A and B are shown apart, each in its own frame.
Chain A
Amino acid sequence: MSALAVPLRRPARVPWPVLGVVGAGVLWQVAAVLTDNQATLPTLSSVLGELVALVQDPELRDHVSSTLGRVAVGFGSGALLGLVLGSLIGAVGPVRRVLNPYLNFLRAVAPIAWIVPATIWLGVGDGSILFVVVYAAIWPVAVNTIAGMASVAPDRVRMGRMFGLSPFGVLWRIRVPNAVPVALTGTRLSLGLSFMAAVGAEMIIGRDGLGYLVYDARSYFDTPLMFAGILLLGGVGYLGDLLFASARGKVFARFYAGRSDA
């Protein structure tokens, strides 16, 4: 027997994600060149050119910061409201049974549909956009918080009661921490949805923001700029989600101990 261990052959690593992105880009460029109509399908190169110009344009910073500001305020307060609402509903059985149909109805309404009544109540402006963003953020958090609190293992609650926890103690020391991972899954969904709601509302009544930028480009038939804006939307949303997921894993690590949904 040879003293030297034969190293196992490792398959060469294929950078699939990079290949996927480059492949799609090539397909886009080829399709655009073949159809040869900048107004309906601009070439990727022209869109990327617009994107570069956009990123360098100081005006863009204002659009990005107004959208992100709306998302921050709307998502922050909406998620908080959803958490409080979800905890209350999740903690009290009768309240849950009474409010569940309302909850399911309200979350089935597309947030953007509220832009119409919102403008009647709050006028055409930031207030109405924020209303829609808050609305979008509340429901995923609330629904998931309720689910997380309901899914506690019966032995956990028994253990708490046995060692003398009050009903409030069971809520605070067992049900709430038990709900953290599921509630945070809802919060992550909320973040994405409130970004989308902000962009949608900006398209309809905004005077600035990324949604306004894209819609405005369309009205001037500046299709490359419009696509550049959409690429930017996807990029900002993707980045926000990544940041949220990594912050969540660090801040709330202990609540994910031993769970597969970390």
Chain B
Amino acid sequence: MPATTPANAAPPTELPPLLQIDAVSYRYKASLPPVMEDISLDIRYGEFFVLLGPSGCGKTTILNQVAGFEKPTTGQIRVREERITGPSPDRAVIFQGHDSLLGWLTVRQNVEFPLKVAGVSTTQRRERTQEVLELVELAGQADKFPHELSGGMKQRVQIARGLVTDARVLLMDEPFGALDAQTRTSLQLQLSDIWERERRTVLFITHDIAEAVILGDRVGVMSSGPSAYLHSIVDIGLDRPRLRSPEFNAYVDLLERTVTAAKRREPLPERAGEAA
């Protein structure tokens, strides 16, 4: 059993799911087939949920809908039983690229930005910003400008900015997609560690199977599009930090078979579930 898991980790079972995606479909145009169809999914308090799928399956669209940037064509999405109508500081997005970092502000000012908008007092702001900068190991770079940082550091700035408020949900859209393999692995382990300490609810989009196994409590596997559907959900029963091991590889193997079946839009063949 992981010794680092805090006592409040297990979501109280009597609570309704934090995030409810309810029969969501989406089409760009009425004349085109839907990108995805009838997606239903509950995400629990404090859970790290990974949505895994091939490109074009609409996983980024789902994230944008949960963020409130886009609206489902049919169906609805609720946070704490309230229907999402637009973006909110309660759901912080960590974007795939670096555009959202403001180039004219230092790292510290970028991380502080949401607190400033929220009207938090200067002393509290300083303190909280310093905390999260230390959490993502960027305290030494705080007075640099974003363009002076590597790609991995920039993504850590975004993560810090997402954590600095008490946003309940973090929405991450392939945040490590553009990084080299080594940086990627190190950031995955770091994120897993941060998540264990902070216990925010995370919806994480990726098409990388190993990434899903390193990070996810549960992994939702999407079929290929158009008319993509949620093919299956795999529980990852591994302790953190998740390093390469025979059990780890068994999950990678299981997810690979699931993804292959999902791409073909076929049910999972017999051997499924043996790793769990």
Q: Do A and B come from one complex?
A: yes
A153-B145 contact in complex given A162-B67, A164-B118, C-beta closer than 8 Å: no
Residues on A facing B (Cβ under 8 Å): 153-156, 158-165, 169, 173-174, 177, 180, 254-255, 257-259
B171 to chain A, nearest CB (A): 9
The 8 Å CB contact of A164, one of B67, B117, B145, is B117
Nearest 3 CB-CB pairings of A with B: A258-B147, A153-B99, A159-B100
A165 vs B117: C-alpha distance in the bound complex, in angstroms? 7
Residues on B facing A (Cβ under 8 Å): 67-69, 86-89, 91-93, 95, 97, 99-100, 102-105, 113-114, 117-118, 145-148, 165
A165 vs B102: C-alpha distance in the bound complex, in angstroms? 14
Contact indicator A258/B103 (Cβ below 8 Å): yes
The 8 Å CB contact of B99, one of A156, A177, A257, is A156
A261 to chain B, nearest CB (A): 12
A258-B146 contact in complex given A155-B97, A156-B99, C-beta closer than 8 Å: yes
Contact indicator A255/B89 (Cβ below 8 Å): no
A178 to chain B, nearest CB (A): 8
A169-B145 contact in complex given A156-B100, A162-B87, C-beta closer than 8 Å: no
Contact indicator A158/B89 (Cβ below 8 Å): no
Contact indicator B102/A158 (Cβ below 8 Å): no
Contact indicator B97/A163 (Cβ below 8 Å): no
A177 vs B113: C-alpha distance in the bound complex, in angstroms? 14
Chain A residue with Cβ nearest B67: A162
A254-B145 contact in complex given A158-B93, A169-B117, C-beta closer than 8 Å: yes
Contact indicator B104/A255 (Cβ below 8 Å): yes
Contact indicator B113/A163 (Cβ below 8 Å): yes
A173 to chain B, nearest CB (A): 8
Contact indicator A258/B100 (Cβ below 8 Å): no
Contact indicator B118/A163 (Cβ below 8 Å): yes
A153 vs B105: C-alpha distance in the bound complex, in angstroms? 16
Chain B residue with Cβ nearest A152: B99
Chain A residue with Cβ nearest B115: A163
Q: Provide the residues of chain B in CB contact with A161, threshold 8 Å.
A: 86-87
29 intermolecular pairs with C-beta atoms under 8 Å apart: A153-B99, A153-B100, A155-B95, A156-B99, A156-B102, A158-B67, A158-B93, A158-B100, A159-B93, A159-B100, A160-B117, A161-B86, A161-B87, A162-B68, A162-B87, A162-B88, A162-B91, A163-B92, A163-B117, A163-B118, A173-B117, A180-B104, A257-B103, A257-B145, A257-B147, A258-B103, A258-B146, A258-B147, A259-B103
**Supplied contacts A154-B99, A158-B100, A258-B103, 18 more A-B pairs, CB within 8 Å:** A155-B95, A155-B99, A158-B87, A158-B93, A160-B117, A162-B68, A162-B91, A162-B92, A163-B89, A163-B92, A163-B114, A164-B89, A165-B117, A177-B102, A177-B104, A254-B145, A257-B103, A257-B146
